[in-house]
């Protein structure tokens, strides 16, 4: 409790003292309070603590985070606070290390999941530090969780043709072609309206992460199949893709995932998922020599590192390049 009290005094003096003076204050308080017992009233968190999470989420909302992302942040932070049983200002590095360890053991979570939680908590506590809610982020000394690099599969040309040949509706064929040729996210695909499609230029405007609009492009085959699908429609829904039966509601992410999964199971193609089309496009584009910056723009990535995660260099091309440039 003494350490928490000293941290709270330091926090309140942040606007008035520099780092060296704060260290002197901590030394003086530690010596003065040695042997003393400090008790807090139960259920009386500091007023700033009650607002900390909401203020952090508001800041992230202004930065352009989607409501889905904000919901994930909120759940992660609240689960952590209730799991540790302390206010954000009282939490130490040791508390967080124990929490992450226990979380992984109890939920049998992967290292990737634990590192995602660590990143969210790091963002949260760093923001609290910047805004003078706390003196120092307890996540600073918790380093990135090392995870094994898994090379994720892409679709072969044969698999793509098999899926096209065995589509039972013009709608599903149009979906596969649009995903395969544009590299758009499935969340972007289901929000498209018919008016968003420019058939002359073979392009459309999608609303990506952070509510950012960008142009994506599709090939001639996709144009023909999209036009065939729209010509077959009898409903008045402005959505680009709708359900096959009345009342012809807008097709949702779950509906696309289900149709593709069922198609894959029917054809014995493993792990058929909308996102795999995106990864396949990125890999193919880089493999054919498209500059990585242009692939980044095409996929709508803020950071080029993200684009590199999607791109899987084919080993055969590494072998050919070795023979060409090295001998």
Torsion of CA 284, 310, 178, 302, to 10 degrees: -120
Backbone angles phi, psi at 145, to 5 degrees: -75, 125
| Selection from 254, 248, 251, 253 nearest residue 233 by Cα | 248
- Say if residue 33 is preceded by a cis peptide, omega within 30 of 0: no
d(Cα 145, Cα 138) in Å, to the nearest integer? 16
The sign of the CA dihedral 24, 25, 27, 31 is: positive
Residues annotated as catalytic (active site), given as ranges: 185, 209, 275, 278, 301, 310
Number of other residues whose CB lies within 10 A of the CB of residue 280: 22
Strand order across the beta sheet in which 213-217 lies: 197-198, 203-207, 213-217
d(Cα 119, Cα 131) in Å, to the nearest integer? 18
**Element at 317 (helix H, strand E):** helix 315-325
- Within 108-156, residue ranges assigned H as helices are 111-130
Question: Can you state the angle between helices 67-84 and 93-107, rounded to 10 degrees?
Answer: 100
């Amino acid at each position: 409790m003494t350490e928490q009290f000293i941290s709270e005094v330091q926090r309140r003096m942040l606007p008035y003292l520099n780092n060296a003076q704060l260290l002197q204050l901590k030394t003086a308080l530690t010596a003065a309070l040695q042997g003393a017992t400090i008790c807090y009233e139960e259920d009386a968190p500091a007023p700033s603590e009650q607002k900390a999470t909401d203020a952090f989420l508001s800041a992230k909302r202004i930065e352009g985070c989607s409501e889905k992302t904000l919901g994930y942040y909120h759940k992660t932070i609240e689960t952590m606070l209730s799991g540790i049983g302390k206010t954000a200002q009282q939490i130490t590095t040791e508390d967080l290390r124990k929490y992450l360890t226990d979380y992984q053991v109890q939920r049998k979570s992967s290292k990737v999941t634990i590192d995602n939680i660590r990143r969210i908590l790091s963002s949260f506590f760093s923001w609290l530090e910047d805004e003078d809610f706390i003196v120092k982020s307890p996540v600073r000394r918790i380093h990135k969780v090392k995870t094994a690099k898994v090379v994720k599969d892409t679709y072969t040309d044969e698999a793509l043709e098999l899926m096209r040949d065995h589509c039972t509706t013009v709608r599903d064929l149009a979906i596969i072609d649009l995903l395969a040729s544009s590299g758009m996210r499935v969340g972007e695909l289901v929000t498209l309206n018919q008016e968003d499609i420019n058939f002359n230029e073979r392009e459309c405007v999608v609303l990506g992460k952070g509510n950012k609009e960008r142009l994506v492009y599709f090939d001639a085959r996709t144009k023909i199949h999209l036009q065939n699908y729209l010509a077959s429609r009898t409903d008045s829904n402005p959505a680009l893709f709708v359900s096959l039966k009345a009342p012809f509601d807008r097709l949702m992410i779950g509906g696309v995932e289900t149709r593709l999964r069922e198609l894959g199971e029917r054809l014995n193609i493993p792990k058929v998922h909308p996102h795999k089309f995106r990864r396949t496009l990125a890999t193919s584009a880089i493999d054919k020599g498209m500059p990585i910056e242009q692939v980044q723009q095409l996929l709508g990535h803020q950071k080029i590192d993200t684009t590199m995660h999607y791109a899987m260099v084919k080993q055969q091309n590494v072998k050919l390049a070795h023979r060409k440039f090295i001998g």
